[in-house]
């Protein structure tokens, strides 16, 4: 049976060119980047070149890039180290109710330590009210963490406006954004948008798992989240993963060259899928913002159809989609994002699915998905 993958928001297959780079690095560039001999200098060169590429992709400087194991570590480092380092300046933090669990869990932990966390609500499109943010900022606010683009419904935050509001407030809060889903598709300029901390992950853009980076503005000094050696200018202990780093660099180079064309292509996929569903008279509505969104994610409410049943039947047909964040897909908890947008008792919470596109998605695969969705929904509603 041919299997078709529509869960790129969870993870992506490694790009063929990235695989070649990783293999070459594993075979030929095995030195420890902290060693002063030839092999160490060789790995250091690869690392320095990669950081230049990462920095250029977000309008930063190479010395502002800290390598991590991925989005979760980047989020945890930005949030926990900022809060604990600036505790004497204030214990108030602002975030939103629709953040990824890599942000929400650290917030819960900080609350257990006595920190005051404000969770901004969102409207039915998944967007915060900027006035709420403005009114929530206080002199003792040390951090604002708001995601760049939502991983479940794709809604984009008005990052530039958020950065301006924080800068113009009486607070000295750092602005952190989880850009794991947006990186590689959206234009990101950390200086223009006044972002202080930004999280990314390689495996969302066709790179290897287990590596990402955290941008830290050069004016900010955070202690290492990992304890051990003095790698990354004492900002992240641990021997750098050169093969994964080289692969991540290649994935970034590819996405930077193709992001605009891919956004157009992904929008065409969404438009075509919606058109096919409309023509079939299937009852559905889109969740999230229709225009201001990440183009590779579309979240659909199929009225009266259990998302769990639909996912299982689609899997039997060789189609892989999801009902929400990959980090919660293994349990039966309803989507906290959809509950925040539409209410805990809304049917959408248990009747919505997330479809996400990537490198192997074609219009033919979209047609196959549409055919199976229409067939199975009509079967389930008989």
Q: How far apart are CA 354 and CA 200, in angstroms?
A: 21
Give the single-character DSSP code of 172. Answer: -
Question: How far is Cα 285 from Cα 319, in angstroms, rounded to an integer?
Answer: 21
Distance CA 149, CA 156 (A): 4
Predicted TM-score (pTM) above 0.85: yes
Instruction: Please compute Rg for the chain using Cα positions.
Output: 21
Handedness of CA 337, 338, 342, 344 (dihedral sign): negative
Phi, psi (deg, nearest 5) at residue 81: -70, -35
Query: What does the alpha-carbon distance between residue 126 and residue 333 come to, in Å, rounded to a whole number?
Result: 19
Strands 319-320 and 297-302 turn out to be unpaired
pLDDT tens per residue, the chain (382 residues)?
789 999 999 999 999 999 999 999 999 999 999 889 999 999 999 999 999 999 999 999 999 999 999 999 999 999 999 999 999 999 999 999 999 999 999 999 999 999 999 999 999 999 999 999 999 999 999 999 999 999 999 999 999 999 999 999 989 999 999 999 999 999 999 999 999 999 999 999 999 999 999 999 999 999 988 889 888 888 898 989 999 999 999 999 999 999 999 999 999 999 999 999 999 989 999 999 988 999 999 999 999 999 999 999 999 999 999 986 555 545 557 899 999 999 999 999 999 999 999 999 999 999 999 999 999 999 998 7
Q: What angle do CA 18, 24, 27 make, to 5 degrees?
A: 140
For the record, the structure tokens of 265 come out as 């292509």
Q: Hunting for tokens 């060693």 — which residue is that?
A: 35
Q: Are 278 and 65 in contact (CB under 8 A)?
A: no
Element (H, E) at 107: helix 101-112
Task: Say how far apart CA 62 and CA 117 lie, in whole Å.
Answer: 32
Whole-angstrom distance, CA of residue 24 vs CA of residue 30: 10
**DSSP tag of 249:** H
Backbone angles phi, psi at 68, to 5 degrees: -135, 180
Contact 158, 123 (CB under 8 A): no
* Residue among 274, 327, 359, 380 flagged as catalytic: 327
For residue 324, what pLDDT is reported?
67
- Contacts by 186-189 with C-beta closer than 8 Å and gap 24+? 186/148, 186/149, 186/156, 186/259, 186/294, 188/57, 188/58, 188/59, 188/148, 189/58, 189/59
Tell me whether residue 4 is one of the annotated catalytic residues: no
Q: Specify whether the CB–CB gap between 350 and 304 falls below 8 A.
A: no
Q: Do 103 and 145 meet the contact criterion of CB atoms below 8 Å apart?
A: yes
Rounded alpha-carbon distances, angstroms, from residue 162 to 22, 195, 304:
38, 9, 37
């Amino acid at each position: 049976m041919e299997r078709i993958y529509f869960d790129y928001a969870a993870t992506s297959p490694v790009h063929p060119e990235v695989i070649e780079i990783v293999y070459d690095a594993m075979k030929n560039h095995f030195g420890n980047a902290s060693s002063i001999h030839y092999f160490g200098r060789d790995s250091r060169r690869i690392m320095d070149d990669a950081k230049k590429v990462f920095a250029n992709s977000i309008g930063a400087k190479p010395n502002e890039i800290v390598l991590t194991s991925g989005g979760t570590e980047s989020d945890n480092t930005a949030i926990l180290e900022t809060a604990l380092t600036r505790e004497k300046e204030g214990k108030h933090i602002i975030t939103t109710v629709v953040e990824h669990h890599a942000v929400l869990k650290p917030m819960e932990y900080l609350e257990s330590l006595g920190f005051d966390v404000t969770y901004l609500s969102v409207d039915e499109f998944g967007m915060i009210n900027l006035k709420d943010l403005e009114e929530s900022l206080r002199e003792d606010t040390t951090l604002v963490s708001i995601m760049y683009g939502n991983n479940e419904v794709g809604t984009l935050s008005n990052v530039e406006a958020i950065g301006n509001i924080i800068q113009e407030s009486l607070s000295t809060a750092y602005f952190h954004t989880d850009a794991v889903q947006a990186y590689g598709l959206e234009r990101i300029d950390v200086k223009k948008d006044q972002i202080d901390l930004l999280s990314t992950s390689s495996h969302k853009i066709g790179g290897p798992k287990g590596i990402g980076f955290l941008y830290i503005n050069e004016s900010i000094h955070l202690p290492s989240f990992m304890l051990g050696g003095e790698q990354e200018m004492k900002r992240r202990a641990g021997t750098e993963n050169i093969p994964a780093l080289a692969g991540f660099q290649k994935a970034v180079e590819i996405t930077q060259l193709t992001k605009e064309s891919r956004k157009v292509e992904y929008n065409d996929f969404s438009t075509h899928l919606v058109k096919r569903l409309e023509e079939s008279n299937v009852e559905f509505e889109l969740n999230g913002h229709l225009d201001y969104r990440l183009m590779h994610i579309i979240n659909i409410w199929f009225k009266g159809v259990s998302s769990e049943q639909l996912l299982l039947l689609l899997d039997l047909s060789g189609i892989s989609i999801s009902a929400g964040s990959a980090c919660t897909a293994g349990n039966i908890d309803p989507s906290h994002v959809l509950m925040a947008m539409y209410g805990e008792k809304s049917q959408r919470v248990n009747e919505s699915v997330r479809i996400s596109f990537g490198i192997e998605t074609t219009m033919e695969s979209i047609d196959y998905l549409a055919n199976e969705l229409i067939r199975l929904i009509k079967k389930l509603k008989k």
